[in-house]
């Protein structure tokens, strides 16, 4: 039985079968894929689609679990990742921007080439519905869960969109609302492709980021742990806590052949200190 703490899943990238297995192993779903985790909280950190074989299948599963969990007092949520942004930009409905038809068509071609070049699948494109796109466009960019600040990408670029979680989410929602500003969605996509902002010091960048947005630990995906550590993906044993405990990376490289994990949000630096004091 899953306890009532919060859990997270890193970048799934269309790997539906590993995700189903991970949800079952962690006690979130039964053999038929039904939610059995009661009032537990589960967060996906973005990049549900692309690269793997069934991105739309992953989106469908997350949307379905969101509905099931809400019926019994639980919650399933998802952050907006850079691959969700690329998918949205590649599938903007005709006439949904503030640009001329000619400019809109040129931008659509550029966005579609970018999406396909980053693992977008024609099979996913054929199955996308207006409901899928509306659900994705409404995803938050950040979330604060007690001591944990959840973002998709390990970048400081969120600061370009506001100085609080609410401000950033409102700004991103505005960019994705019709009529869409093509230049702003392009800038947002580029911002969210940046990485490694918290890996170059002993936690100073993470602490500064947390001081602005709240929380004691940044939890993110986006940058595969096996690439960050220079290890074989199959050697990854779980999310990576680093930057003196002030950051946790949940992208375990599932699309590279690494394991898919549904893991509880890690212990924060304050909790580590209190635990050490109690043991002494």
Residue 1 lies in a domain: no
- Inside any domain, residue 17: yes
Q: Is 179 inside a domain boundary?
A: yes
**C-alpha distance from residue 208 to each of 13, 64, 175, 246, 247 (Å):** 30, 37, 26, 10, 12
Alpha carbon distance 279, 226 (integer Å): 33
- Which residues in 243-274 are b (16+ Cβ under 10 Å) and which e? bebbbbbbbbbbbbebbbbbbebbbbbeeeee
Cα–Cα dist 237/258, whole Å: 9
Q: How far apart are CA 121 and CA 105, in angstroms?
A: 20
- Tell me whether strands 247-249 and 6-9 are parallel, antiparallel or unpaired: unpaired
Residue 233 lies in a domain: yes
**What value does the CA radius of gyration of the chain take, rounded to a whole number of Å?**
19
- Separation of alpha carbons 118 and 100, rounded Å: 27
Nearest-CA neighbor of 127 among 16, 207, 250?
Answer: 16
pLDDT 10s per residue in the chain (280 long)? 455 579 999 999 999 999 999 999 999 999 999 999 999 999 999 999 999 999 999 999 999 999 999 999 999 999 999 999 999 999 988 878 877 888 888 888 999 999 999 999 999 999 999 999 999 999 999 999 999 999 999 999 999 999 999 999 999 999 999 888 889 999 999 999 999 999 988 899 999 999 999 999 999 999 999 988 889 999 999 999 999 999 999 999 999 999 999 999 999 988 765 665 565 4
Number of H helices, E strands in the chain: 11, 9
Question: Which range of residues forms the domain containing residue 61?
Answer: 6-279
Per-residue confidence (pLDDT) for residue 2, from 0 to 100: 59
The count of structural domains within the chain is 1
pLDDT attached to residue 185:
94
Cα 220 to Cα 45, 71, 81, 192: the distances in Å are 7, 27, 10, 12
Distance CA 154, CA 224 (A): 11
User: Rounded to two decimals, what is the model's pTM?
Assistant: 0.94
What CATH number has the domain bearing residue 248? 3.60.21.10
Q: How far is CA 108 from CA 133, 203, 228, in A?
A: 15, 40, 33
């Amino acid at each position: 039985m899953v306890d009532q703490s919060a859990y997270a899943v890193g970048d799934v990238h269309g790997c539906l079968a590993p995700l189903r297995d991970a949800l079952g192993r962690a006690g979130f779903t039964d053999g038929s894929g039904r939610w059995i985790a009661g009032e537990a909280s589960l967060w996906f950190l973005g990049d549900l689609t692309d690269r793997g074989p069934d991105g739309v299948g992953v989106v469908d599963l997350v949307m379905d679990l969101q509905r099931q969990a809400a019926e019994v007092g639980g919650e399933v949520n998802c952050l907006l990742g850079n691959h969700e942004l690329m998918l949205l930009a590649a599938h903007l409905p005709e006439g949904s921007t503030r640009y001329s038809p000619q400019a809109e068509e040129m931008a659509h071609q550029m966005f579609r080439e970018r999406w396909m070049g980053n693992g977008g699948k024609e099979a996913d494109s054929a199955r996308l519905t207006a409901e899928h796109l509306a659900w994705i466009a409404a995803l938050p960019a950040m979330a604060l869960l007690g001591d944990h600040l959840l973002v998709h990408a390990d970048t400081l670029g969120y600061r370009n969109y506001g100085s609080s979680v609410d401000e950033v989410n409102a700004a991103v929602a505005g960019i994705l609302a019709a009529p869409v500003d093509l230049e702003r969605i392009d800038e947002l996509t580029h911002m969210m492709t940046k990485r490694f902002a918290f890996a170059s010091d002993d936690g100073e960048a993470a602490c500064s980021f947390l001081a602005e947005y709240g929380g004691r630990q940044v939890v993110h995906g986006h940058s595969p742990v096996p690439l960050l550590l220079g290890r074989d993906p199959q050697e990854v044993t779980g999310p990576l806590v680093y930057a003196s405990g002030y950051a946790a990376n949940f992208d375990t490289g599932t699309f590279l052949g690494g394991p898919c994990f549904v893991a509880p949000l890690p212990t924060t630096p304050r909790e580590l200190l209190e635990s050490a004091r109690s043991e002494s």
